[in-house]
Amino acid sequence: ETAVFQTPNYHVTQVGNEVSFNCKQTLGHDTMYWYKQDSKKLLKIMFSYNNKQLIVNETVPRRFSPQSSDKAHLNLRIKSVEPEDSAVYLCASSDWGANYAEQFFGPGTRLTVL
Amino acid sequence: GQQVKQSSPSLTVQEGGISILNCDYENDMFDYFAWYKKYPDNSPTLLISVRSNVDKREDGRLTVFLNKSGKHFSLHITASQPEDTAVYLCAAGNQGGSAKLIFGEGTKLTVSS
């Protein structure tokens, strides 16, 4: 099956803890993204990697750090989570050369910070 | 401010009618424009996208109109059906500048039978 996979689906944690989210795509794409979907359902880009190289790094708190081992994987680590980090985190991928705007999304990881 | 805006949070259309969804953008460097469809508790899926070198693109019941001078693009859905009921997100970006797409807040379309 070719798609974008994310784990975990849900995660509940306490303020100050560290969390890691995983994303893998089997579509053969060379560009991957992390988005944050807030309580108002607005999607905001956080990071983008093209062939393991960081190409977009929006103004996000320094406790957020992306990690890419190869072009099929892009993980997201959050050190010392805050209540405002509660959101759905969506991973996506695209083929930069063909149509970068055609982005394929994973199912999302819902983070709840207590 | 929000670079891509959908001014209508919701729209209701009768079955068989034309649904018109609108999107305005601020950055005249944007050269990619897309519409995504999102069901509740699901991720967005791409419906149709256009580059800035065309003013219109059709795909079945879907048509995207691009008005670059007005910094506006729209999605027309003809013969609207109840299964078209969903949230529609517009998005725009500049491939030459960076890889990021800027999404609008979404318009909830309800097609009533």
Average pLDDT over residues B8-34: 95
Residue A48 and residue B89: Cβ atoms within 8 Å?
Answer: no
Report pLDDT digits (tens) over B37-62.
999 888 999 999 999 999 999 999 99
Q: Choose from A45, A51, A89, A96 for mutation: most chain B CBs within 10 A.
A: A45
**Burial class (CB within 10 angstroms; exposed 0-12, middle 13-18, buried 19+) of A39:** exposed
Query: pLDDT class for A102, splitting at 50, 70, 90?
Result: confident
Question: What's the number of domains chain A is made of?
Answer: 1
Q: Which residues of B touch A43 (CB under 8 A)?
A: 44, 89, 103
Query: pLDDT class for A56, splitting at 50, 70, 90?
Result: confident
A80 lies in which domain range?
4-109
Distance from CA of A102 to the nearest CA of B (A): 6
Q: Which residues of A touch B96 (CB under 8 A)?
A: none
Q: Which residues of A touch B102 (CB under 8 A)?
A: 45
Say if A72 falls within a structural domain: yes
Count the neighbouring beta carbons within 10 Å of the beta carbon of residue A3.
13
A107 upstream amide cis, omega within 30 of 0? no
Q: What is the 3-state secondary structure (H, E, C) of A33-72?
A: EEEEECCCCCEEEEEEEECCEEEEECCCCCCEEEEEEECC
Residue A96 and residue B43: Cβ atoms within 8 Å?
Answer: no
CATH number at residue A56: 2.60.40.10
Question: What's the number of domains chain B is made of?
Answer: 1
Report pLDDT digits (tens) over A81-101.
999 999 999 999 998 777 667
B67 lies in which domain range?
4-112
Q: Which of A45-54, A80-89, B12-21 has the lowest mean pLDDT?
A: A45-54
User: Do A101 and A76 form a contact (C-beta atoms < 8 A)?
Assistant: no
Say if A114 falls within a structural domain: no
CATH number at residue B80: 2.60.40.10
Angle (nearest 5°) at CA B88 between A11 and A101: 80
Residue B72 tokens, joined: 């506006």
Q: Which residue of A has its CA nearest to B87?
A: A41
